[in-house]
Amino acid sequence: MLNFVTTNPGKVREATAYLDDEVVQFDFDYPEVQADELGAVAAHGAREAYRAADGPVIVDDAGLFIDAFDGFPGPYSSYVEDRVGIERVWRMTEPEDDHSAAFKTVIAYCDGDDFAATPDPVDRDERRGQDLAADDRGGATTDEQVEGGEDALPVKLFEGRVPGEIVAPRGEGGFGFDPIFEHDGTTFAEMSTDEKNAVSHRGRALAKFAEWYAER
Ligand code: ITT
């Protein structure tokens, strides 16, 4: 059994399609550290949640990065959805603006054990707040054994990104910013879960995670 640590059932719905193991929503509102990088937020959450859960956990920290706003709301997307609302985020983009955007997600896995070093990132709390972008991954992995300390719990990170455009809200499906995010002419809220998974940031990260997790 795998605990998906989230207050958002939409994320769990998307994950079940990828994993043979039973995925259970672990509704634990972990304190989100203020950091400019999703990887740091997700890794911190996975460590906190692992201490509270009875088994392996995944945390998914996601955000909408709008080019015209230099990546805003990014890691602050949840706060902006609650306080501003997605309709007003769309209205904030002027007609003459570049409407391109991307959804990004980082899935962080923790089961309390160490991982064999691989070309993929293993966050050992050494890079808090630093960029864990896909292109930087090589440097995130070390063979070093980390001494004791709960903060040193290893966390494995899987990243996904999808490009798109900010548009007027359309569609009834999905969750969060899906109605204002268009990919190839269709908003994520107009897609079924399977259609969204096939192209989405979360689908890409989940596919990488599922492949690795099946071996573990
Ligand atoms: P948890 O932190 O409890 O998992 P959350 O919904 O707050 O739930 P995030 O902090 O990762 O999750 O999400 C940041 C924001 O981005 C939040 O407003 C989400 O609704 C939104 N979001 C995340 N993934 C999304 C997706 O696939 N489609 C649309 N909006 C998404």
Bigger pLDDT: 4 vs 116? 4
**pLDDT for residue 29:** 78
**pLDDT for residue 201:** 96
Whether 56 shows a pLDDT value over 90: the answer reads: yes
Q: 22 CB contacts (<8 Å, ≥6 apart)?
A: 1, 2
Kindly state the average pLDDT of the residues 186-202: 96
From its phi and psi, is residue 168 left (phi > 0), alpha (psi between -120 and 50) or beta?
beta
Cβ–ligand 1 distance for 45 under 6 Å, the answer no
Which pLDDT band, with edges at 50, 70 and 90, does 128 fall under? Answer: very low
Q: CA Rg, the chain, in Å?
A: 17
Kindly state the average pLDDT of the residues 111-130: 66
What atom of ligand 1 comes closest to residue 79's alpha carbon?
18
> CA 14, 25, 84: angle at the middle one, nearest 5?
70
Hey, which residues does 96 pair with through a beta bridge? none
* CATH T-level fold of 2-213: Maf protein (3.90.950)
Cβ–ligand 1 distance for 8 under 6 Å, the answer yes
Separation in Å, CA 99 to CA 86, 133, 175, 178 = 14, 22, 20, 15
For the chain, domain boundaries = 2-213
pTM, 2 dp: 0.85
Cβ–ligand 1 distance for 187 under 6 Å, the answer no
**pLDDT for residue 54:** 76
Of residues 20, 27, 61, 70, which has the active-site annotation? 61
Q: Mark whether 135 is an active-site residue.
A: no
**pLDDT for residue 141:** 30
Tell me the DSSP string of 53-111: SSS-EEEEEEEEEEGGGTT-EETTHHHHHHHT-HHHHHHHS-TTS--EEEEEEEEEEE-
- How far apart CA 187 and CA 208 sit, in angstroms, is 24
Cβ–ligand 1 distance for 37 under 6 Å, the answer no
Residues 76-109: tens digit of each pLDDT: 999 999 999 999 999 999 889 899 999 999 999 9
**pLDDT for residue 126:** 58
Lowest mean pLDDT among 11-20, 42-51, 120-129, 200-209: 120-129
**pLDDT for residue 81:** 97
Whether 210 shows a pLDDT value over 80: the answer reads: yes
Whether 127 shows a pLDDT value over 90: the answer reads: no
Burial 46-57 (b: 16+ CB within 10 A, else e): bbbbbeebeebb
Bigger pLDDT: 36 vs 86? 86
Residues 133-187: tens digit of each pLDDT: 433 333 333 323 333 444 568 999 999 999 999 999 999 999 999 999 999 999 9
Q: How far is the CA of 37 from the centre of ligand 1 (A)?
A: 15
